């Protein structure tokens, strides 16, 4: 979200109640609390959707995309490693195939960083346009506790392991 904002995008974020303040604090123009409102049931239409969760149908997402919009479907692991991730991955590929028959595009995405990407990210961080959101920091000797915390699935940002 911060990267999109740094390039001038108008960003609507979808999150749970407990994350609304955090998402606002890092730059969302609008925040939809999915526990109170289904973003696919509004009149708002989007040029692009970056879907990390994949819990809406192809038609629900198509209905909120503008005619030539694009929906980027996060690759496996985007929402963390979990038992249903392979089904989600297959669903993403099926969705991407279906989009061949529409003006809207659904594409899968798996991050592949390059030196140029990292340089842009460095510049954004140095300028203060992008700042990491760190939930908790653990010592290397506390790695098991950090992993247990991550497995709970409720981190409000990155979990950092420091090397003593």
Query: What confidence tens digit (pLDDT) does each residue in 75-91 have?
Result: 654 444 445 554 555 56
pLDDT of residue 94: 59
Question: How far apart are alpha carbons 48 and 67 in whole angstroms?
Answer: 11
Half-sphere exposure of 110 (CA within 13 A, CB side): 6
Instruction: From residue 142, give the alpha-carbon distance in Å to each of 24, 107, 139, 161.
Output: 31, 38, 5, 8
**What distances in angstroms separate CA 105 from CA 15, 52, 55, 70, 85, one per listed residue?**
24, 16, 18, 5, 22
pLDDT at 104: 80
Residue with tokens 């915390």: 149
Dmax over CA atoms of the chain, in Å, equals 54
Residue 132 CA to residue 37 CA, distance in Å, equals 28
Please state, in angstroms and rounded to a whole number, the distance separating the CA atoms of residues 144 and 62.
Answer: 41
SS3 of 141-159: HHHHHHHHHHHHCCCCCEE
Would you say how long the chain is, in residues?
A: 164
Q: What is the dihedral of CA 43, 44, 48, 51, to 10 degrees?
A: -70
CB-based burial of residue 8 (10 Å sphere; 0-12 exposed, 13-18 middle, 19+ buried)?
exposed
The low-confidence residues of the chain, meaning pLDDT below 50, are: 77-82, 86
């Amino acid at each position: 979200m911060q990267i999109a904002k740094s390039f001038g995008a108008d960003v609507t974020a979808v999150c749970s109640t407990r994350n609304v303040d955090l998402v606002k604090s890092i730059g969302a123009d609008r925040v939809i609390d999915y526990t109170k409102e289904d973003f696919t049931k509004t009149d708002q239409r989007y040029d692009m959707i970056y879907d990390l969760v994949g819990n809406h149908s192809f038609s629900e997402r198509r209905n909120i995309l503008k005619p030539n919009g694009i929906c980027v479907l996060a690759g496996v692991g985007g929402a963390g490693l979990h038992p249903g991730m392979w089904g989600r991955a297959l669903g993403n590929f099926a969705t991407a195939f279906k989009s061949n028959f529409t003006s809207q595009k659904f594409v899968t995405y798996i991050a592949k960083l390059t030196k140029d990407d990292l340089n842009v990210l460095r510049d954004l961080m140095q300028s203060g346009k992008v700042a990491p959101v760190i939930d908790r920091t653990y010592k290397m000797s506390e790695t098991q506790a950090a992993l247990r915390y991550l497995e709970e699935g409720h981190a409000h940002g990155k979990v950092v392991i420091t090397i003593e």
